[in-house]
Every structure is written in C-alpha cells, then in structure tokens.
C-alpha cells in the first residue's frame, strides 16, 4: 500500500522531518469483553499478572478467540525515501483519494496519511465507502484544525480509523459554539472529533480537544485508546464511545460539563461497556466521571476524580434539612438508569450493570456516590482515597470486597448493597449515617423520601465479614443489616453513634460471630450484641457517658489488657467479641487512666495504668453481659415501619437507607 503524506498548508506549511513509528491498535494486554450484558457480569477472569482476561483468551498465543478480540497491527515506519510532502496545489495527485474544497480536506480511500499544518476554519473528513473495508490511519504530526460550525475531524464513513499521535508533537482540534448539522434528524456530527465508526487513538504525542459546542471526542461504535497525552475541555461529555470504551494507557486531563468518559448504548445489552487496563486520569466532570451503561472493568490506572462541586456540596447535612440534589430516573430494567436521569447524576464510577476493580490508585471527590451500580460491585485490589457527598460505595444488589486499601473520609453511607461480603483488605469509613448498610432492593434514605435516594425497600439483606481490617466511625448505625450480620474472621472496630436512635450493631435477622475480633461501641439506647456466637462476646453497659478520648480498659485476672480503647466520640455501651475472652475467667473493666503506647482507630497499645475500676464480669457462656447492659439481642427491629432496627431520633426524617 502506498503511503500518503498530507501536509495541510492552508495557513502555513510545515515540513515533516521526524522519523517515527506508531502502533495503531493495543496489544493483547488490553482485555476485550465477551459480550457483557445488562444482567450478567463481564465473562472473564484475572490472570497471574493481575490483568482481566475474557474467558476465551489464549494465554499461550496471547490472542482472544472471539469476534470482540480481533486485532490488527499496522506498523508505520518511514524512511527519508518514503517521506513525501504534499502542498495544497498537489493534493489531487493521488487519483482523487484526497480532495480539497476550500479548507476542507476529504479522504476517500483507506490507507496511511501523515497530517501536519494548520486549518483556520475547515475540516478533515474521512469518507471511505463501506466496500473499502481497510483501515484509515491518520498520522498526526503537528496538526492545528479549527472549524467554526462543525467537527474539525469528522469520520463520516470508514471501517475503522486510527489516530496516531507522533511522539513530541502537539495536535489541536477546536470547534465553534454552534454547528450546522449534516444530519438534522440525528443532530450529527456533535463532537469536536466525531466518528460514526470505530475509532482508535494511539501513539505518544499530545492531542488537545477544545469542544465549545458539545462533546469532545465521540465514536458511535467502539473507541479504543492505547496511549498519548490527551487533554479535553468540553461543554458536554469529554470522551464518548457509544458501544464501548477500551483504554490501555495514556495520560488524560478531562474538564467537562457532563460525563468525563461515557459508553451509553442502551439498545444492545452486549454493548455500552468500559474497560481500563492502565493510564493516568485527571477528570473534573459536571456529571459522572466514568459512566458505562452496562459493565465497567478497571484493571489498573491512576485516577484523580472530582464530580460536580465535590463532596462539600453534598445533598444532605448533619441535621437532615438540606436536601439539595434531585434524584435519578428509572432505567429500562426498572432500576436507576445509568444514562437517562430525571436530573443530574454526579458519580465518579458508575455502571448500569456491574463494576469490577482489580487494581489502581483512586483519589475521588464526588458530589454524588463515589462508586455506584444497579447490580453488583467487586473490588479485588487498589488504593482508594474517597470523599463523597452521598454514598462511598453503592450497589443495588451485591457488593464484594476481596482486597485493596480503602479510605472513605466523608460520606452519607459508606458501603451499601442488598448483600455485602468483606473478605479481605483494609477499609476505614467516616459516615454521617450508616458505615455498612445491607438493605433490600434499592434503598430509601428517609421515611419522607429525599432527593438522591436509592429507593431501598424490604427487610432482606446480608452483611458478612470473612477477613481483613475494618474501621467505622458512623453517626448512624455502624454495621446495619436488614437481614443477617455474620462475622467469621477479620479485625473490626466500630466507633458507633452517640445518639440513642442508632446503634453500633443493627440487625433484623440475626447476628452470628464465629471468629475474628469485633469491637462495637456507641450509645446504649438501641444497642445490640450478637445473638449467636462461637467465640466469646460480652456487652458492657456503662452508667455514665464516657467522653471521647477517655480510656476504657478490660483486663484479665493477671492485669494483662484484653482491650484498651480511646473512643472518637462519647459512648455508654461496648460490645467485645474475641478469642482472648476465655470461658470461666473473670475480667475487670476500668475507666480513665493512661497508656504508654500509641492509639490507632480507637485501639491503644502499651501498658495501661491508673484507671478506676468500674465492674467485673465472668465469662460463663459465649454471650455475656457486664455492668448495666440488658443484652440487646435483637434490639427494636422494625420500629419505624421500614425494617429499621431503630433509626429514629437522629435528627433526619426517618433516618434509614
């Protein structure tokens, strides 16, 4: 195939002097999904290197055996002899494959084209007949194109177009504030870089997109990005691939009025997904930062995300009277739509079906949920720094955490789904309402309803801890399950509520502790302890409120500390479950005093001394009480008529999600 070198010399003429090579497609490290559907997760697995692979991936040959895994690789390597510089008067020299009309350049045949120079008010149009099923590769070698009334780069027809960003070059596309649509019915084109067909962006150069009318970069089919420095400033969506977005690498800075990255095919259940294998992302979006209509998989990457006006512009306040943000509409499955909302959704990572995160570093400041799906979330690794104006992590159905280090420093509720399993990893939560909430269906945050609520209803749900480290500082319930609460292993500390309308434990269907370490501290009014256990548990009721910072110590008969605790808030009830409590042994509870070690999330290490003895107790069964505790096994579930274990009196209407 003959290579065509097109120098755009409408306003200035630049010579091509750089030798370069570009790979037009990702290598096989970029997973291709196996037709993810609305009601099914992406069908795949994590390999030994921590990379997501579809089930039909051939590890030996590093290929994908499906129509979604088709790869093509075009190596564009130029020598001095192959380099051709074409001036404006010479554009027609390739048998009418390239046409010039005023400042609009039209490419009508597949091939490889090098573009450099400036267009002050015109377009680059790719219009290749469907019968020509070859790839069009545009080698961007320092292009600056402005179009006042349409897309500066418009792929009208092609099997696939590759934009290759030459190393060391800067390429800029700018549109005007209004378009003259070629297709009035579809209102297209509607993006600064717009493609009706598959679009691939590769290379290591820079791409600047200034979208003053609508979207920045948009493909109506699949959009794949394997590299480059990509800066998008768009009044609407930043980067949009209707059928899919697949990103292997690149450095992105996106500022946009709507969604940052969006895949929104609502008519084909195997489309509308996002897969990210790596990259460095800085996103400031007026709405969702990443929004997939079906599924989203993140294997790796660095993410710095701000949505809306950030968590400080939350839809709630501590008094519950500032319900400022409207809620979401309903999707085609009867749940919240991932793309069609009554009003504004400002989530960081949102999927209509399933969200799977296998790794990455995330700094999230979201006005809405930090993570949200209408079906399930699975977190297998990663490092997370989250502040949220609503929920930290929310799934309507199932939420599983198998690893990672998660810090949620501000949220309404921390982790929320119908069924939650925390199997491993580390998580710290500071919440204005519940820390963990296992509810039923879609949650309803308040009896009277509130804007932004997720419409949970019913009295089912499970909350299970099988390992890892958990710290919760909750103003509402610490661990809340409309159904069952189970602990088989792990290290759990709950600084629960100071108000008596909530509890550190809150369950309706039973609580069973079979292993691990559990400390749940809070107000006594709605306090519960496990109703079944195979390790020893004790509830300690205090006849005084212990102020935050004042120590509480539990020691054995030899004076060795089982627990030294320094609360984040005032409290008068303590539930402790640990294998260190031995059946038949006596223990002393002391208040005050000092400790010569460090305090982390309420737990103090070192030697304790100087406290005032409050009470003693003997472990005679797996469930014991001390002081003025009444047992609290079962609490007052359902008292507000919404399957709630006593979330009344916290200053919010209803107080339940």
pLDDT confidence band for 266 (50 / 70 / 90): confident
Rounded mean pLDDT, 120-130? 90
Beta bridge partners of 350: 291, 372
pLDDT confidence band for 561 (50 / 70 / 90): very high
Rounded mean pLDDT, 291-313? 96
Q: List C-alpha distances in Å: 508 to 397, 415, 453, 644.
A: 18, 18, 22, 8
Q: Is the pLDDT of residue 8 over 60?
A: no
Q: Is the pLDDT of residue 429 over 90?
A: yes
pLDDT of residue 379: 98
- Highest-confidence range of 44-58, 78-92, 364-378, 450-464, by mean pLDDT? 364-378
Question: pLDDT digits over 471-497, tens only?
Answer: 999 999 999 999 999 999 999 999 999
d(CA 320, CA 148): 48
Structure tokens at 643: 């399957």
pLDDT of residue 56: 53
Q: Is the pLDDT of residue 636 over 70?
A: no
Q: Contact 595/565 with Cβ under 8 angstroms?
A: no
d(CA 259, CA 348): 9
DSSP 611: P
* Choice between 114 and 296, residue whose per-residue pLDDT is larger: 296
Question: pLDDT digits over 499-538, tens only?
Answer: 888 889 999 999 999 999 999 999 988 889 999 999 999 9
Neighbours of 72 (CB within 10 A): 11
* Choice between 657 and 584, residue whose per-residue pLDDT is larger: 584
pLDDT of residue 270: 86
The angle formed by the CA atoms of residues 164, 169 and 170, to the nearest 5 degrees, is 95
d(CA 409, CA 407): 6
- Highest-confidence range of 72-86, 173-187, 241-255, by mean pLDDT? 241-255
Q: Is the pLDDT of residue 141 over 90?
A: no
Which is it for the CA torsion 528, 459, 492, 411, positive or negative? negative
pLDDT of residue 415: 97
pLDDT of residue 26: 41
pLDDT of residue 48: 54
Rounded mean pLDDT, 92-107? 63
Q: Is the pLDDT of residue 263 over 80?
A: yes
Question: pLDDT digits over 177-223, tens only?
Answer: 999 988 788 888 999 999 999 999 999 999 999 999 999 999 999 99
Mean of pLDDT over the chain: 79
d(CA 337, CA 331): 4
Question: pLDDT digits over 341-365, tens only?
Answer: 347 899 999 999 999 999 999 999 9
User: Helix, strand, or coil here: 91?
Assistant: helix
pLDDT confidence band for 558 (50 / 70 / 90): very high
Q: Is the pLDDT of residue 25 over 60?
A: no
What's the length of the chain? 657
HSE-CB at 388 with a 13 A cutoff on CA atoms is 34
Which is it for the CA torsion 237, 304, 311, 276, positive or negative? positive
Which is it for the CA torsion 146, 147, 151, 156, positive or negative? negative
- Indicate the pairing of strand 222-225 with strand 198-203: parallel
Q: Is the pLDDT of residue 282 over 60?
A: yes
Q: What are phi and psi of 127, to 5 degrees?
A: -135, 80
Question: pLDDT digits over 364-413, tens only?
Answer: 999 999 999 999 999 999 999 999 999 999 999 999 999 999 999 999 99
pLDDT of residue 47: 53
Q: Closest by alpha carbon to 232, among 190, 173, 273, 275?
A: 173
Q: Is the pLDDT of residue 35 over 90?
A: no
- Indicate the pairing of strand 251-256 with strand 280-285: parallel
d(CA 644, CA 112): 64
- Indicate the pairing of strand 479-481 with strand 436-438: parallel
- Indicate the pairing of strand 551-556 with strand 586-591: antiparallel
Helices (H) and strands (E) in the chain, counts: 0, 61
Label each residue of 130-152 as H, E or C: CCCCCEEEEEEEEEEEEECCCCC
pLDDT of residue 330: 33
d(CA 645, CA 480): 8
pLDDT confidence band for 331 (50 / 70 / 90): very low
Percent of the chain whose pLDDT exceeds 70: 73
Q: Is the pLDDT of residue 453 over 90?
A: no
pLDDT of residue 76: 35
pLDDT of residue 548: 78
* Choice between 448 and 205, residue whose per-residue pLDDT is larger: 205
Q: Is the pLDDT of residue 45 over 60?
A: no
The angle formed by the CA atoms of residues 645, 457 and 327, to the nearest 5 degrees, is 115
pLDDT confidence band for 106 (50 / 70 / 90): confident
Strands (E), 279-425: 280-285, 290-292, 296-298, 302-307, 349-351, 354-357, 361-366, 371-373, 376-379, 383-388, 393-395, 398-401, 405-410, 415-417, 419-422
Q: Contact 404/382 with Cβ under 8 angstroms?
A: yes
The residues, any chain, with a CB within 8 Å of residue 186's CB and separated by 6 or more, are none
Q: Is the pLDDT of residue 313 over 70?
A: yes
Q: Contact 299/50 with Cβ under 8 angstroms?
A: yes
pLDDT confidence band for 101 (50 / 70 / 90): low
Q: Contact 213/177 with Cβ under 8 angstroms?
A: yes
């Amino acid at each position: 195939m003959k290579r065509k070198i097109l120098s755009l010399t409408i306003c200035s003429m630049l010579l091509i002097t750089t030798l370069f090579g570009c790979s037009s497609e990702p290598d096989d490290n970029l997973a291709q999904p196996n037709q993810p559907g609305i009601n099914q997760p992406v069908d795949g697995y994590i390999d030994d290197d921590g990379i997501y692979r579809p089930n039909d991936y051939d590890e030996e040959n590093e290929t994908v055996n499906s129509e979604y895994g088709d790869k093509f690789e075009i190596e564009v390597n130029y020598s001095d002899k192959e380099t051709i510089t074409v001036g404006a008067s010479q554009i027609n020299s390739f048998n009418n494959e390239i046409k010039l009309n005023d400042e609009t350049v039209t490419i009508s045949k597949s091939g490889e084209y090098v573009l450099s120079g400036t267009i002050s008010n015109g377009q680059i149009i790719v219009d290749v007949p469907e019968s020509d099923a070859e790839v069009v590769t545009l080698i961007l070698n320092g292009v600056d194109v402005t179009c006042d009334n349409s897309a500066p780069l418009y792929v009208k027809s092609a099997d696939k177009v590759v934009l290759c960003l030459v190393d060391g070059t800067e390429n800029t596309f700018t549109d005007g504030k209004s378009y003259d649509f070629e297709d009035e019915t579809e209102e297209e084109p509607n993006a600064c870089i717009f493609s009706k067909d598959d679009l691939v962006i590769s290379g290591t150069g820079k791409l600047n997109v200034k979208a003053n009318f609508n979207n920045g970069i948009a493909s109506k089919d699949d959009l794949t990005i394997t590299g480059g420095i990509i800066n998008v400033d768009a009044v609407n969506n930043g980067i949009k691939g209707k059928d899919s977005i697949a990103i292997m690498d690149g450095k992105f800075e996106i500022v946009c009025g709507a969604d940052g990255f969006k895949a929104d095919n609502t008519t084909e259940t195997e489309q509308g997904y996002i897969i990210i294998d790596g990259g460095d992302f800085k996103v400031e979006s007026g709405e969702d930062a990443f929004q997939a209509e079906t599924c989203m998989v993140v294997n790796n990457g660095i993410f710095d995300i701000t949505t809306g006006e950030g968590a400080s512009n939350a839809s709630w306040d501590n008094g519950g009277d500032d319900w400022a943000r409207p809620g979401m509409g309903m999707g085609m499955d009867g749940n919240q739509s991932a793309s069609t909302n009554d009003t504004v959704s400002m989530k960081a990572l949102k999927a209509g079906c399933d969200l799977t995160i296998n790794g990455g570093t995330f700094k999230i400041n979201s006005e809405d949920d930090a993570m949200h799906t209408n079906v399930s979330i699975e977190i297998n690794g990663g490092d997370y720094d989250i502040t949220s104006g609503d929920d930290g992590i929310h799934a309507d159905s199932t939420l599983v955490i198998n690893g990672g280090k998660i810090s949620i420093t501000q949220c309404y509720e921390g982790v929320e789904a119908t069924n939650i399993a925390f199997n491993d990893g580390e998580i710290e939560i500071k919440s204005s309402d519940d820390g963990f909430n296992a509810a039923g269906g879609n949650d309803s945050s308040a009896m009277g309803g509130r804007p932004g609520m997720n419409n949970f209803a019913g009295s089912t749900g499970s909350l299970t801890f099988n390992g890892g480290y958990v710290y919760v500082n909750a103003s509402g319930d610490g661990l809340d399950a409309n159904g069952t609460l189970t602990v088989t292993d792990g290290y759990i500390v709950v600084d629960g509520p100071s108000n008596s309308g909530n509890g550190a434990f809150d369950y309706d269907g039973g609580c069973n502790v079979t292993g691990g370490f559990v400390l749940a501290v809070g107000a006594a009014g709605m306090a519960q302890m496990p109703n079944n256990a195979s390790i020893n548990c004790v509830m300690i009721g205090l006849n005084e409120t212990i102020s935050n910072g004042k120590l509480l110590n539990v020691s054995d008969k030899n004076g060795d500390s089982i627990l030294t605790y320094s609360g984040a808030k005032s409290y008068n009830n303590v539930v402790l479950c640990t294998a260190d409590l031995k059946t038949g042994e006596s223990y002393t509870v002391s208040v005050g005093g000092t400790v010569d070690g460090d305090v982390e999330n309420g737990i103090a290490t070192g030697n304790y001394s100087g406290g005032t003895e409050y009470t003693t107790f003997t472990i005679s069964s797996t469930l014991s009480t001390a002081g003025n505790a009444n047992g609290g096994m079962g609490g007052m579930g359902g008292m507000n008529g919404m399957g709630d274990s006593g979330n009344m009196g916290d200053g919010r209407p209803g107080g339940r999600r």
